[in-house]
Structure 1
Amino acid sequence: MGKTSSSNEVRTLVLVGRTGNGKSATANSVLGRRAFKSRASASGVTRVCELQRTIIKDGPIINVIDTPGLFDGTQSVGKEIVKCIDMAKDGIHAILMVFSINTRFSEEEQATFLTLQALFGYQIIDYMIVVFTGGDVLEDNEETLDDYLGCECPQSLKDILTLCGNRKVLFDNKTKDENKKLGQVQQLLNLVNMVMSQNGGRPFTNELFKELKEKARIQDNQKKLIESEEGYSKAEMLEFKKEMQQKHDEELKRITAMVESKLKEENEKLLKQLEEEKVARHKAEENYKFVQNTSYNEIQNLKRDLEVAKTHRAPRRSSSPTCSIL
């Protein structure tokens, strides 16, 4: 990545997905350096939301926000969502849904997609790009991403890809090939540009983003006002700043509690929906097995009837006397 930029434009990308899918490794690939901790770990390395940035040569500034597994129940989900929004208060240009071809697509990943949609509204889908990690494995097997998706792709994953306008990219985060590294990042940035174009150049925001941005603006103005005032002692200035910080923290707690409440409500709905789908799927599988067994039994009965018919069928003999040839 270059060190200079001829553009003041900023692109803010947020990576979401299940722990272990390679979000941090993908973020590092986009940045072109090892900025986020990334290693194989069952419990996940990323614990809190974190922002890093890079500047594309003759291009925009790229803000990359890495997140923990927001929906695997290992931390205060609401707190991290609010922190993520606070980092991206000017809006999100693309949400990168990270899946791994090394693991089966799970209900947890479907839940991540559905919960984001429930939390931020249906419009969030217009900003989503699906990133598949594990490109090295496909290359070793001489397969393409389309080959992989065409082989018993779960219907729920097909639905996500369809809703996201089939915006997808494959990442090999282990490659040492510089051209390959640049190529896959450029492919992703092309999709980001497509998302921006389709959304009229406007990043995603909602009332929560606007509220946090307004709170930050008020706090900055108060801070500047206090610093410009004369006649205050150093101790009084520190006290004012302390009070401001307390008010800010209390406001964040209020917003976090609101997000947690909504998230809990949506998760309960989602769990009920997934359970109903599981029961329906189980019932359908049982019906299918019953039909299969019934068909098999019917075929066996027919075979048995044919065998019985054969054994009881006497051979036809001629009643006329045999003719001897002298």
Structure 2
Amino acid sequence: MTLKEFINNTEPLKKLVQKYDQRCHVFNNKNRGHTEQVQMLLIKILKTYFDIQEGKVAETLKPNPLMRKIPKDINPDTPVSSLSSRRIVLLGKSGVEKSAAGNTILGQRKFRSVMSTSSVTCECSDAHATVSGRSVSVVDTPPFFDTHMKHEKLMMEIMRSVYISRPGPHAFIIMFPVNMRFTEHEQQIPQMIEMLFGEEVLKYSIILFTHGDLLEGVSVEELVEKNCRLRDLVQQCGGRFHVFNNRDVNNRDQVNDLLKKIDTMIEQNGGGHYSNQMFEDARRFRQEEEEQRERGRGEKTTRGD
């Protein structure tokens, strides 16, 4: 039986769950390797937190610098392709120069960036500037596989980027250095991003290679073509990729070219952006999958298999 069926079978339990606005979750502590049940709990906690924040009366709600309001002059029904603003989320491991790339995009030193293999960013931060006549906002996120943060806290913080860039980011920029050895570890990153944000997220994603100064005469296209793992990563994002040289901060062509690729991606997606609704749909889909798996395990136990 599903969790919902289990609750509805017991009237006192049903009333208890109703008292908490239907917020409930189920754990199988015998299967500690099953991380999705933890991810689902974190998503529910995150959703509840932001619902509460948005539901408070304005006079009593304390300002939250991470919850940027939608500009009043933007009509939510206006096609996003006609707007001059662009909202970007940066994703990647430690050492991929995420913060430096954010500074390069904005043309200003907005994010703290140092040469280090360890993480500088431990929570999401956002900054914005006018770039080539348009308003551009960038959200920097903690790095995947950060050993200084608990996995659950890390995943929750990365997921929070969607709410910070609300009503939703136009582009997720998944970053890798051109000189990185691409192992199965790196290949897991798109799957992790899909797990957090749903399958739709890769339609709004672009691979960005950093350390472009290390290409040494080889084009990034040649690099992708010669490496099957790199090629697979790029294909998962619709063949979209770009390269940055963060040491050439005066090279605005590389930024304008990235923005043009984002514009093209938006047009290919019908003029829309990744939305909070897509995030909720992904959460609901994962919950349904979890309930189906629980039902299957229950049936298997009943048969005595």
TM-score by length of 2: 0.60
Distance (whole Å) between structure 1 residues aligned to residue 224 and residue 122 of structure 2:
31
Q: Is the 8 A contact 1:23 1:98 kept in 2?
A: yes
Q: Hey, what does 2:205 align to over in structure 1?
A: 128
Which residue number corresponds to residue 14 of structure 1? Answer: 89
How far apart are the structure 2 equivalents of 1:10 and 1:22?
A: 24
Deviations 1:233-256 (A, max 9, x none): xxxxxxxxxxxxxxxxxxxxxxxx
Root mean square deviation of aligned Cα: 2.5
1:87 matched residue in structure 2: 164
> Quick one: distance in 1 between partners of 2:156 and 2:125?
13
Aligned to 1:163: 236
* 1-structure distance, mates of 2:214, 2:129: 28
Partners of 2:165 and 2:115 in 1: how far apart? 28
Query: Is the contact made by 2:89 and 2:139 (CA closer than 8 Å) also made in structure 1?
Result: yes
From 161, 186, 194, the equivalent of 2:256 is 186
Of 25, 28, 33, the residue aligned with 2:103 is 28
Q: Give the Cα–Cα distance (whole angstroms) in 2 for the partners of residues 112 and 150 of structure 1.
A: 20
Deviations 1:9-66 (A, max 9, x none): 32110010111011111111000011111111121211111100011243x3111001
* Bigger proportion of residues as helix: 1
Gaps of 5+ in 1: 1-6, 212-257, 266-326
Partner of 1:50: 125
**Residues 220-276 of structure 1: CA deviation (Å, up to 9, x unaligned):** xxxxxxxxxxxxxxxxxxxxxxxxxxxxxxxxxxxxxx99x98xx9xxxxxxxxxxx
3-state secondary structure, aligned to 1:132:
strand
Is the Cα contact below 8 Å between 1:120 and 1:206 reproduced in 2? no
Question: Which stretch shows the higher mean deviation, 113-122 or 7-16?
Answer: 7-16
Mapped contact 2:94–2:143 kept (Cα < 8 A): yes
- Asked if the contact 2:197/2:279 (under 8 Å) is kept, the reply is no
Percent of residue pairs identical: 33
Equivalent residue for 2:183? 106
Question: Which residue of 2 is the match for residue 236 of structure 1?
Answer: none
Give the drift of 1:210. 6.3
Rounded to whole Å, the distance in 1 between the matches of 2:223 and 2:159 is 36
C-alpha displacement of 1:169: 0.9
Q: CA deviation at 1:209?
A: 5.2
Which structure 2 residues correspond to residues 168-247 of structure 1 after superposition, within 5 A?
A: 168-175=241-248, 178=250, 181-207=251-277
- Structure 1 counterpart of 2:173: 96
Question: SS of the residue aligned with 2:99?
Answer: helix
Secondary structure, aligned partner of 2:252:
helix
2:49 aligned residue: none
Q: Which amino acid aligns with 1:119?
A: L
- Distance, in Å, in 1 between the alignment partners of 2:91 and 2:130 is 22
Measured against aligned partners, the alpha-carbon deviations of 1:72-120 in whole angstroms (never above 9, x if no partner) come to: 3432223313431220220110010101012211333222210111222
Contact 1:92/1:203 (8 A) holds in 2: yes
Contact 2:142 2:158 in 1 (8 A): no
Paired with 2:117 and 2:234, the residues of 1 have a C-alpha distance of: 27
- For the 8 Å contact 1:117–1:124, the answer to whether it is kept is yes
Q: Which residue of 1 aligns with 2:214?
A: 137
**Structure 1: distance between partners of 2:147 and 2:277:** 25
Does the 8 A contact of 2:213 with 2:245 survive in 1? yes
More displaced stretch, 24-33 vs 108-117: 108-117
Would the aligned equivalents of 2:119 and 2:146 in 1 still touch at CA under 8 Å?
no
Q: Residues 169 and 100 (structure 1 numbering): CA distance in 2 closer, same or farther, change over 3 Å? A: same
Aligned partners of 1:67 and 1:114: how far apart in 2?
17
> Which residue of 2 is the match for residue 69 of structure 1?
143
Give the SS at the match of 1:110.
helix
**Match of 1:37?**
112
When Rg is computed on C-alpha atoms for both structures, the one with the higher figure is: 1
